[in-house]
Amino acid sequence: MSFNLPELPYAYNALEPYIDARTMEIHYTKHHKAYTDNLNNAITGTELEGKSIEDILLNLDPENKAVRNNGGGYYNHNLFWEILTPDKGMTPSKELSEAIDKAFGSFKAFKEIFSKAAATQFGSGWAWLTVHKGGKIEVCATANQDNPLMPHIQCGSPILGIDVWEHAYYLNYQNRRADYIEAFFNVINWNKVSELYHKNK
């Protein structure tokens, strides 16, 4: 058994003008595909073969760089495509909205904190909104393809994530990472983020 590249839930151009079709196509067919293939190569014939990706990340040996980088890359991009949407007008569920207000004061304050975490992640990485058991939510950032579930990170379960590797925005935004982050907020699938909040709280 091996991991499959999940089907993209919309067309490459569906998120334009916020995320351009060429970036989407390369990101999905080259980068995500490579993480998937390299993860499969890394676990084939090992005790990790047949385990779920969540199980692999939660019990990761951080010294196992092939699984750390490619298992993280596989999971992170699976989540990333799911929490994006071309559909307009979505908002967080009532309960998630209340959790955001409780943790950050307001949605506006959350957006500022999340955007700052994404903008200031040095080099390649991700910024996340995560939930802990009990419902507390938190913003954190990770380097490279690290993920909040990993034992050396332990920042809860990710419910929203933004990829700030240059491959995620450079064709359209060049060095303007802040503009990409601002644009990202127009294509968030809050129905999915809310669903993940309820499932993992």
Question: Where along the sequence are the contacts to Mn ion (CB under 5 A)?
Answer: 31, 163, 165, 168
Residue nearest Mn ion, CB atom distance = 163
Nearer to Mn ion, 89 or 123 (CB): 123
Nearer to Mn ion, 80 or 114 (CB): 80
Q: Which two tokens stand for residue 188?
A: 């968030």
Query: What minimum distance in Å lies between the beta carbon of 126 and Mn ion?
Result: 9
- Rounded least distance, CB 64 to Mn ion, Å: 20
Q: How far is the CB of 158 from Mn ion (least distance, A)?
A: 14
128 versus 165: smaller Cβ distance to Mn ion: 165
* First vs last C-alpha separation in the chain: 30
Helix 190-200 vs helix 94-104: angle between axes, to the nearest 10 degrees? 80
What lies within 8 Å, CB to CB, of 141 at 6+ separation is 117, 118, 120, 121, 125, 126, 127, 128
Shortest Cβ 77–Mn ion spacing (Å): 6
**Number of Cβ atoms within 10 Å of the Cβ of 45:** 8
Tell which residue, 92, 73, 108, has the closest CA to residue 201.
Answer: 92
**Nearer Cβ to Mn ion, position 31 or 198?**
31
Q: Which two tokens stand for residue 151?
A: 């034992």
